[in-house]
Amino acid sequence: MIRRDKSIIRRATLADVPLIVKVEELSFDVPWPDFLFKAHLNNPGFVAYEKEGNILGYAMVGDSEGKAHLQNIAVHPQCRRQGIGTELLEWCIDLVKLYGYREMILEVRQKKTSSQAFYANNGFKISGTVAGYYVDDDAIIMTKNI
């Protein structure tokens, strides 16, 4: 659906990958390289937030042991705190519900308290930790019944 402000959430395409990588590089200390994004293009849960030809954010959801697993989400730093991340997350939740999933799970760096606040604001609760999950940090596991 194209919104009144001309933004749209839709499946990511090969043409989007360079712009997605730019957002990724502005968002993470250890960004995913382009080949990883390209490898996920056949996943209907890999979506881009586009507005007038620009990619403002993206998200990726897949399966992990029967649970919907949020693998990646990021919004361009200049476009944060405008609800885009929430829209992307809600889009992913609506999609996986169509496939019958009833729980979503994700990992977030222990040091990334801002991202934890984003997930908490969207109804996720801490359900565990994994020591040494990242090269330089532990992971917080967050889950939400959907």
Q: Which is nearer to ligand COA, 57 or 100 (CB)?
A: 57
As measured in angstroms, the least distance from the Cβ of 116 to ligand COA is 8
As measured in angstroms, the least distance from the Cβ of 74 to ligand COA is 4
Residues that bind ligand COA (CB under 6 A): 27, 73-75, 80-86, 108, 112, 114-115, 117-118, 121
Residue with tokens 């967050």: 142
3-state secondary structure 43-101: CCCEEEEEECCEEEEEEEEEEECCEEEEEEEEECHHHCCCCHHHHHHHHHHHHHHHCCC
As measured in angstroms, the least distance from the Cβ of 85 to ligand COA is 2
Q: What is the DSSP letter of 12?
A: -
Q: Which helix (H) or strand (E) holds 7?
A: strand 7-11
As measured in angstroms, the least distance from the Cβ of 119 to ligand COA is 8
Q: Which is nearer to ligand COA, 34 or 100 (CB)?
A: 34
Q: Which is nearer to ligand COA, 104 or 108 (CB)?
A: 108
Q: Which is nearer to ligand COA, 45 or 85 (CB)?
A: 85
Q: Which helix (H) or strand (E) holds 133?
A: strand 125-134
